[in-house]
Amino acid sequence: MPLAYWVHDWGPFLGPHWGNFGIRYYGLAYLLGFVTAGWLLVRYARAGRSQVPAARVSDLMIYIVIGVMLGGRLGSFLLYHPQQLRDDPLSFFRVWEGGMASHGGMAGTAVALWWFARSEKIRFLHLADIVTSVAPAGLLFGRFANFINGELWGRPATVPWAVIFPASPLPLVPRHPSQIYEALLEGALVLACMQWRVWRSDVLRRRPGHLCGEFLVAYAVARAIGEIFREPDASLIFGLSRGTFYSIFLVAGGLILILRKPAPLKP
């Protein structure tokens, strides 16, 4: 047993701030995630692995940003705190108070990609493949921002690297830094797997939708593992944390995409 545990004392702002205004780590994490995703999508285009020309990646990123932000925000309320949206509708616009759901962000991104695919006459499943292959970058930075913000903490723990989060329920006890676990699982590990598949296989051309299915299953499994160490931030559903329960549907959707036999993309 260590003699003392580290007490989380980081604030949500990078540098000086004025009230609720300043450079937030959370906003910086989203920015880094979108920039990384855009950079990878441009690389795909230049390497001939994407049907989205490099010049159109910026337009695609606008659709993605809107889908992630609206879907993630709405999902946070509908999936985790529906009563808050009913009792205080204006809280939806108080973004400085936090509140984003990764499952909602995925749903919002799917709608945005469908709209972009329709307007650009690009196969939707191809867009889903290339976008989900870069999505873990945003999860990686986002989970680290969760840790810096001292939110979404883990369950009580006695491991040497446990952290005391002042915002957690009293009495204050050391807890798993589950945000770091999730950053490494949902972010770094899944991103590495997706990039290996993009660059070391021909799956994007041969089986449109397959890589998206792999991402959905991989993310769901990584999320479920992370939920073992994370303190549930909402009531359970059938004895499961909401993050685990909603991931079941991702596994189902992912398996459908993996098992189907689509026609290869035309050269």
Per-residue pLDDT tens over the stretch 97-144: 667 888 899 999 999 999 999 999 999 999 999 999 999 999 999 999
Q: CB count, 10 Å around CB of 266?
A: 7
Cβ atoms of 141 and 29 closer than 8 Å: yes
The one-letter amino acid code at 178 reads: S
Query: Residue 22: which residues within 8 A CB-CB, separation 6 or more?
Result: 13, 14, 15, 16
pTM of the model: 0.91
> What pLDDT is stored for residue 144 in this prediction?
96
- Report the interhelical angle of 190-200 vs 124-149 (nearest 10°): 150
Cβ atoms of 124 and 117 closer than 8 Å: yes
Strands (E) across the chain are located at 6-7, 13-18, 21-24, 163-164
- Give which of 135, 139, 146 is closest to 109, Cα–Cα: 135
